[in-house]
Amino acid sequence: SPSARGKDRSGRGFERRRHHGMALRNLSTVMRGPLGLQQAGLLAPASACAAQTVGAPHLSKGGPSTQVRNASQLETQQKMKSVGNIMKITKAMKMVAAARMKGAQRKVEACRGMVDPSIKLFGDNPLVEGKSVTVPITSDKGLCGGVNSQVNRVVKALHDVRADGAEAPRLCIVGDKGRSVLTRGMPESVDFVADQATKQAVTFATASAIAEEVLKTDSAASRIVFNRFKSAIAFQPTVATVPSPETIESKPELVEKFDEYELEGPDRSEFLTDLQEFNLASTIYWGMLENGCSEQASRVQAMENSSKNAEEMLSALTIKYNKTRQAGITTELIEIISGAVALEG
């Protein structure tokens, strides 16, 4: 009858609406994770799923695993950003050091002709008798490889190895990096420290002021220790010895060399005093230029190595970040597929 058919249609409509409501509740349960599925009876335990294999457990959007994954990705991103900034700084420092090295190299080549005659005339013997003073020339800035450590090692060796009957050498330190090491190891031998002398452009006036302080020690010889620039990738620790006028007059072989020349003006002793004061200032000036050029060359190599290390670290962090991100995407895909399979079952 028509009334019965109407009742049947209304009953089927009610069943359809009830089925849709259950489907929505099941979908909501799927979005809540595996615990909700098990409570609804739509997800069987792992022991009962012999025929169906799921690659990874279901992870909810706000679950602990997702939060840990997101935190790990954020931490990796922060590391990548910091390493990238460091790499930019090291590359910029390399370019600046390379430009400064070219200017310093021109000054060194021009200054070598000023000290070569005195070295050929008086020789270069680091072992001296009597009282001596050692002048280590180091830098005031770091990040330049092993330039300063080489000078400090040579100074310590000269302090331990000396001629028979010679006193322990005194120290007149140039540069903050030498001061921090040598004053800690040999504080009783330090007479003078000149820091902040190499942060600005090196001038002959600065070297002359340091030479005046060295002359106050009244030593038989002054030994200037520095790194001699050889090439952009090599430098050599060097000891330049400047004897005092009294030491020269006490050696006949050196006095005979002066007798070969005709001197005008003051007598020989006064002439030797003026000459050796100039030789000491010019040698210190030469050592500061050589060491400054070696410092810039070593900084170029150090910054290049730092840039390479930062690039390798950034590449490793990028791979780690991509793996973590791909793992998160795969996990989310597994969640969606597992939910769909659960709805079909």
pLDDT mean values, one per 10 residues, the chain (345 residues): 47 53 48 45 43 41 58 86 94 94 92 84 71 92 90 90 78 92 90 88 92 91 93 90 86 76 75 88 94 94 94 94 89 90 83
Give the per-residue pLDDT at 63. Answer: 55
Contact 94, 307 (CB under 8 A): yes
CB neighbourhood size of 23 (10 A): 11
- The residues, ordered by sequence, that sit 6+ positions from 111 with a Cβ below 8 Å of its Cβ are 282, 285, 286, 289
Give the per-residue pLDDT at 178. Answer: 92
Give the per-residue pLDDT at 107. Answer: 92
Give the per-residue pLDDT at 185. Answer: 87
CA dist., res. 327 & res. 77, Å (int): 16
Contact 168, 159 (CB under 8 A): yes
Q: 227 — phi, psi (to 5°)?
A: -100, 120
CB neighbourhood size of 90 (10 A): 21
CA dist., res. 275 & res. 177, Å (int): 31
Q: Which amino acid is at 7?
A: K
Give the per-residue pLDDT at 15. Answer: 56
- Token representation of residue 323: 């793996």
Helix (H) or strand (E) holding 193: strand 190-194
Give the per-residue pLDDT at 67. Answer: 59
State the sign of the Cα–Cα–Cα–Cα dihedral 225, 120, 248, 284.
negative
Contact 101, 300 (CB under 8 A): yes
- The residues, ordered by sequence, that sit 6+ positions from 217 with a Cβ below 8 Å of its Cβ are 131, 133, 170, 172, 191, 192
- Token representation of residue 121: 């005339």
- The residues, ordered by sequence, that sit 6+ positions from 52 with a Cβ below 8 Å of its Cβ are 341
State the sign of the Cα–Cα–Cα–Cα dihedral 253, 249, 123, 168.
positive
CB neighbourhood size of 272 (10 A): 23
Give the per-residue pLDDT at 310. Answer: 94
